[in-house]
Structure 1
Amino acid sequence: MDARGRSAWRRGRVPAGVGVVVAWTLAFPGAVPNAVGRLGSLVETFLPWLGLVAPVLLVVGLVRRSATALLALVLVSGVWLGRFGGATVAGEAPGHDLTAVQHNVSDENRDPDGTARALMAARPHLIALQELTAPALPSYRSALAARYPHHAVHGTVGLWSAYPLRDVRPLDIRPPGFGDDWNRGLRATAVTPHGEAAVYVAHLPSVRLGPTAGFGSAARDASAALLGEAIAAEGPGTVIVLGDLNGTVDDRGLAPVTSRLRPAPPAFALSWPAALPLARIDHVLTRSATVVGIRTLPATGSDHLPVAARIRW
């Protein structure tokens, strides 16, 4: 008993209650409603960070000698490890057939040549870039030309390939109300030694967080639906999607895309913002092929970190 006559089970009940709510949210994030301010998508975007309540519960449990808080700590830790524990022990990728790099290079990048060299250091076979600008594009073309003789650019997205590309065409993923000058998608067929693959490069609209609109992802969600329709229309065969999707694979707003593709293996590989990465919004997703390893590369002149994925046919 403490000075107020409370037992170890009665002390710390409020933080323990918070812990139970967090554990429930980690286990069932889809139950968080999305109708008001897209709260569900916001929670899903930063879902792993809910685990930070665990050390708080540990401190409360020890300082206040609260058995209830320590029990909640066990619950939160168990659910978090069950969901994300694999990402903390991800090892070296097994055998793979090709490497793909995805990078939003930023339209404010002052060192496109250095960025191109940093991406080539990973020795990828495919490189997808977003936020290409007209002044920077010649630098990327020149720096990548020798090792990636095949490339396609549409609007602000581009694909460089060590393998021949055919059937290159624009991909219209414009949400309603966006003008004809908004061109942030392309589709090409890469002819690799392991077989052909439909390769999509996409940059979905940004989301905004505000006090009135909440998690403003409506335009992104509409664009994701169009991208999902294009993937669904593909015939049988391998599909590789490389893109800044402005959301994590847990975000239900990206379900039209992620439900049709295989996610990368457990690994945090947080890509944004580069200075203090909080979420992986840059993705390499596949169909009829498997991403067997994913990691971030060293920072470039962008506010995103590049993401490199190893893919097995």
Structure 2
Amino acid sequence: MTSAPPSQSPHSESLPSDAAPSEVLRAPELARRPVRRERVVVVLAVVLVALIVCGWIPGVAGTIGAVLLPWLAIPLVLCLILAVWSARRSIVVLLVPTLLWAAAMVPAMPGVGSDAQGDPMVVVAQNVRAESGTAADSARAAVDEGAGVIALTELDADSRAAAQSVLDADYPYRYEVGTEGIWSRYPLGAGEPLSLGLGWKRAARVTVQAPAGDVSLYLVHAASVRLGKQEGRDEMLSQVADVIAADRSERVLVVGDFNAASTDPALRPLRAAADWVRPTGISPGFTWPASAPVARIDHVFTRGLDVASSTSFRAGSSDHLATRTVLAAGA
């Protein structure tokens, strides 16, 4: 006589015969995965906001933040892709860093060039890097670019002599002070060295007697930045801004190596005293290091001048690219 099978509770449910227990056990974990991804996106968004905001803070944080700012577009885009793929509800969170990044980058966005009419004035400037041994190559490259004015910084004795050997014949007007040198096809008026609070000459001012009218040309080589040590650079940029703000010349042009990325807070006073010239074209115009540029630290500022184009190019073996600025003939 066989015994009857044990009765089952009416509330109990049997597993489907084709469902593996492990699959059922993994179901809650699978449900939690989108939540985890959303948390990752939110954390990354907070980090991006912090890095963007750092770029607005004067001092070391602002200097580092300004260098990183253009490159934050890469993790921002990756976060957006991750959100679209697996955590769509977190897209709203990413709107905050996206809008902040766009607002922070506006002052550094490239501009649109125009055709230079008539006989424009072309100005080439470069930090030729002392002891690079290629100042002559830099000078020849500037000549090939059709420069009417060539402004070179970080000239040691040998590089100055090399540049002179290339330029003196076709650029009869020259002004030099310290490690700065300006060669011109146009007559030069009175010049003066500028120490700008550093105790030695790192900048100069000279009047270029251009066909369209006199231009006050400033050549600047800001003090270098070291980790935790940038007071000298900040002081120099602040003082050069004061000098330019006090300059009553109708036309002002400022070029050189500022050792500050485009959105560095240390450049704010200078941006208020003159117009920052946007690189023309689709690139952000990075100039340093020349082998693989990651930041634009060589700048051009103007007041009372119309800029047709502003580009950068490789010249010699310097660690800086040269800048080429075309000023409209009627400027």
Same fold (TM over 0.5): yes
Aligned counterpart, 2:45: 19
Distance 2:61 2:316 in 1: 32
Q: 1:14 to 1:228 in 2, by over 3 A?
A: same
Q: Moved runs in structure 1, 4+ residues, more than 6 A?
A: 85-89
- For the residue of structure 2 that corresponds to 1:191, the secondary structure is strand
Q: Deviations over 1:127-175 (max 9, x none)?
A: 1110101112121112012332111110001111111001112112242
Aligned counterpart, 1:231: 244
Who wins on radius of gyration, i.e. which is larger?
2
Shift of 1:92: 4.0
Aligned counterpart, 1:195: 213
Distance 1:286 1:61 in 2: 43
Identity among equivalent pairs (%): 30
Q: 1:2 to 1:81 in 2, by over 3 A?
A: farther
- For the residue of structure 2 that corresponds to 1:296, the secondary structure is strand
1:204 aligns with 2:222: yes
Q: Which moved more, 1:88-97 or 1:247-256?
A: 88-97
1:51 aligns with 2:73: yes
Shift of 1:75: 5.4
Mapping for residues 71-90 of structure 1, pairs under 5 Å: 71-72=92-93, 76-77=97-98, 80=101, 84=105, 90=111
Distance 1:116 1:288 in 2: 28
1:66 to 80, 87, 91: 87
Shift of 1:265: 2.4
1:294 aligns with 2:310: yes
Q: TM-score normalised to the size of structure 1?
A: 0.84
Distance 1:22 1:205 in 2: 30
| 5+ long unaligned stretches in structure 1 | none
Shift of 1:249: 3.2
Distance 1:79 1:159 in 2: 40
- For the residue of structure 2 that corresponds to 1:45, the secondary structure is helix
Distance 2:95 2:122 in 1: 39
Q: TM-score normalised to the size of structure 2?
A: 0.80
Shift of 1:223: 1.0
Aligned counterpart, 2:154: 131
1:305 aligns with 2:321: yes
Q: Which has the higher helix share?
A: 2
2:288 to 241, 255, 272: 272
Aligned counterpart, 1:3: 29
One-letter identity of the residue aligned with 1:156 = T
- For the residue of structure 1 that corresponds to 2:196, the secondary structure is coil
8 Å contact from structure 1 (residues 126, 160) kept in 2: yes
Q: Deviations over 1:68-119 (max 9, x none)?
A: 4544556545554566489777554333632211100000222222221111
| 5+ long unaligned stretches in structure 2 | 1-26
Q: 1:160 to 1:54 in 2, by over 3 A?
A: same
Aligned counterpart, 1:93: 114
1:247 aligns with 2:272: no
Number of paired residues?
298
8 Å contact from structure 1 (residues 60, 69) kept in 2: no
Distance 1:81 1:226 in 2: 30
8 Å contact from structure 1 (residues 190, 197) kept in 2: yes
Distance 1:44 1:231 in 2: 23
